[in-house]
Amino acid sequence: MKSLFLFALIVVSSVCFSQSTDEKLAAQFFENQEFEKASELYRKLYKENDNSIYIYENYLQTLIALKDLKTAEKLVEKAITQNPKRGNYEVDLGYLYLRLGEKESAKKYLEKVVKEYSTDKNQVLLIANALMQRQLNDYAIAAYEQGTKKFGALSFYNQLLSQYRVKGNTTALTDFSLEVLSEEQNAFDYIVRVLDVVYEKPESVEYLQQRTLLYAQKNPGNPVFDELLLEVFLQQKKYLAAMRQVISLDKRNGNRGSRVMGFAKSCEQNKEYSSALKAYEYVINLGKEEPNYLAAEQGLINSLYLKTTHSINPDKVEVAELIQKIEGFVNLNGVSFNTAYSLFRLAELQIFYNHNPTGGSAILEKIIATPRLQIHFLAECKLLLGDAYLMLNNVWDAKLMYGQVDKEFMEDALGQEAKFKNAKLSYFQGDFEWAASQLDILKTATTQLISNNAIELSLLIQDNTGLDSTTDAMKEYASAEFLLYQNQIEKCTQILNMLPFKYPNHTLNDEIYFLKAKVQEKLGNYEEANMLYTIVYEKYGDDILADNALYRSANITLYIFNDTQKAQALFEKVVLNYNSSLFVIDARKMYFGLKEGLTKEELFRDELLN
């Protein structure tokens, strides 16, 4: 008995092993597109195991590749007979009719299959998936539409919206999205995401806006359509229309200005400062007794600060007016955690735009002594205070401020910024070795700006100290840069004028021209600055500052001289000649923006010139 069992086991194992070997060989032939050989093996394998989906699929695809569609038809018809409730095989038959060129027969047959399988939710999903697998997406859409008619809009809305989106049928996508929202408000976030393709064509957006407005009018008790209309305005950057909508929502829901505050902050993030200011003014005008009044006052100040300083050449009158406004706000409300951020903006204005680091540091010292401040904001104050101390030549206190933030936020972007500021301070003092060691750490900083700045300063040090036995020339150049940072223009210029005579054969010539250009920029002499930048990128095109000079020249040409055509050519030059530059991404954005006819106000800029 044992011998008989052992013999049976050996026979079964041998058959399985043989089948497994044939499957691997057939798969190899199929992969190598040796379809004749694959066909012979799969015919044999299918006779032995006609329940294997894998063998069926590969055999079918092999027959199609050989254009043996009649045999393929017999294969599919057999599968249908053996699996009468599996609609995917019926889809395969319709698919084969198409491959045979029998389009009308295929159409009638597939429409019949779709109709027959629309009586059960699971069958709808099964048949639609089978149709998509054969890339018969129009029929898959028809299957979902049939299922939706029978079981309601929410039954297959994810699948149907996805299919409309893939097909680019924005009209159907819009209509069905609104139908879904009328039944399920919680689908709002999903609907907003799938509607993104609508904004690619103006006529599609117009249709969405009209239909949404119609639904909002017909369903005044359903706020979801008002929310969608707001989203449509925001996506089109129609900020005034969006503000009217958000004010309406705020009033209807009794939000007392909080919705408008959210809108104002969104405008700030999109650099749409004029709309942000109007939104904050609306909340302020609601009255001092309202809960968002003080926050709106601070928001207004912040937007005014961003609007005023978001320029290569901020207006001095606007800066003075803003300083006066902030001082009036703080005098009225006192120094507290509620007014601390506006005070921080006042300190920035005093330090960087009013050239008053003494006044700025006094303000920051008051803020730091204020209780209940958030630790990240406190760290930002310490960094700014360090900058003010450095401008006042109070080096040790500056190091102390930077060091405290570096230590407290080691793994944070604030800590990396503090480390960079300390490294730059060491550079200013001529301690290039230590500065370089810190910059090497920061080259992989999580913040792109810090990483870029670290790479740039590291290259400057390396380029001008590596081949020289002394660092005397570089130390004098760094001290000139430090004097410019401290706004001591005359002393800085004296050093820069003497450097070429003291070190005539040094590699610093391009750096000297570049720093002279920055001096002229700071003085507002943009024609002179642009001329000096031009010398750098034309005469020293292979040196490390050529791309910097070219990028700065392009921005001055655009934002100061309003010459969009020449600016476009300069941005293009950055892209073509310096494709590994740190500025190439921004230059490409600017180039294509100008090429598309955007105005300088419409162009998005991630960072202003340093």
What pLDDT score does 17 carry?
40
DSSP string, 487-516: T-HHHHHHHHHHHHHHSTT-TTHHHHHHHH
Inter-axis angle of helices 170-183 and 202-218, to 10 degrees? 20
* Rounded alpha-carbon distances, angstroms, from residue 72 to 89, 132, 418: 12, 20, 71
What pLDDT score does 78 carry?
87
What pLDDT score does 56 carry?
79
The full set of domains in the chain, from first to last, is 417-507 (no CATH), 513-610 (1.25.40.10)
What pLDDT score does 466 carry?
65
What pLDDT score does 469 carry?
54
Q: Residue 602 and residue 607: Cα distance in Å, rounded?
A: 15
H or E segment and range at residue 94: helix 87-99
Exposure of 266 by Cβ count < 10 A (0-12 exposed, 13-18 middle, 19+ buried)?
middle
What pLDDT score does 468 carry?
56
* Rounded alpha-carbon distances, angstroms, from residue 569 to 547, 557, 559: 14, 10, 14
Q: Residue 103 and residue 120: Cα distance in Å, rounded?
A: 27
Give the list of residues 6+ apart from residue 365 with CB closer than 8 angstroms, or none.
385
Q: Residue 72 and residue 59: Cα distance in Å, rounded?
A: 8
- 213-235 burial by CB neighbour count: b if 16+ within 10 A, else e? eebbeeeeeeebbbbbbbbbbbb
Cα dihedral value 515, 520, 521, 525, nearest 10? -160
What pLDDT score does 100 carry?
79
Whether the CB-CB separation of 332 and 323 falls below 8 Å is answered with no
Give the list of residues 6+ apart from residue 498 with CB closer than 8 angstroms, or none.
none
Show the tokens assigned to 261: 């505050």
Q: In this structure, how many other beta carbons lie within 10 angstroms of the beta carbon of residue 307?
A: 19
Among candidate residues 304, 217, 286, the one with its CA nearest the CA of residue 250: 286
Q: Residue 579 and residue 581: Cα distance in Å, rounded?
A: 6
Q: Residue 518 and residue 521: Cα distance in Å, rounded?
A: 5
What pLDDT score does 546 carry?
96
Tell me the mean pLDDT per 10 residues along the chain, length 610.
38 42 83 84 83 83 85 84 82 86 89 89 90 91 93 94 94 96 94 95 95 92 92 93 94 94 93 94 96 96 94 91 97 94 97 96 97 96 98 97 96 94 97 95 89 93 74 94 96 96 89 97 96 96 94 95 95 94 92 88 52
Exposure of 52 by Cβ count < 10 A (0-12 exposed, 13-18 middle, 19+ buried)?
middle
What pLDDT score does 42 carry?
80
What pLDDT score does 447 carry?
87
Q: Residue 413 and residue 311: Cα distance in Å, rounded?
A: 25
Q: Residue 361 and residue 513: Cα distance in Å, rounded?
A: 32
Cα dihedral value 348, 271, 573, 312, nearest 10? -30
Among candidate residues 511, 515, 600, the one with its CA nearest the CA of residue 554: 600
pTM: 0.77
Among candidate residues 396, 296, 308, the one with its CA nearest the CA of residue 349: 308
Q: Residue 63 and residue 608: Cα distance in Å, rounded?
A: 63
Sign of torsion, CA 306 312 316 318? negative
Q: Residue 437 and residue 427: Cα distance in Å, rounded?
A: 11
